[in-house]
Amino acid sequence: MIVEIKEIEHQEKYEINEKLVYKDQFGNWQCQCELSRTEKEAFKKFAKSWEDNNREGFNGEAHNFH
């Protein structure tokens, strides 16, 4: 399964396969619908990549993870 992650607001809001994921007021990631295990794992890898590289953002680009 390919997981597409698109940045909406840097380190605050993302679309994961068209499902909105966002940080709540406590800094926890939330989604109004359930993410699959594959989507959760892909997002964890994605988040770790910008933490490790201290990236400034992805300018709304979509990123695919397998």
Q: Which residues constitute the domain of residue 22?
A: 3-65
- Spans of the chain below 50 pLDDT: 57-59
Taking the C-alpha atoms of residue 54 and residue 21, their distance in angstroms, rounded to an integer, is 20
Question: CB of 46 within 8 A of CB of 39?
Answer: no
| Whole-structure pTM value | 0.74
pLDDT for position 61: 54
pLDDT for position 49: 83
Number of independent structural domains in the chain = 1
Question: CB of 62 within 8 A of CB of 5?
Answer: yes
pLDDT for position 10: 85
Give the burial string for 4-35 (b: 16+ CB within 10 Å, else e): ebebeeeeeebebeeeebeeeeeeeeeeeeeb
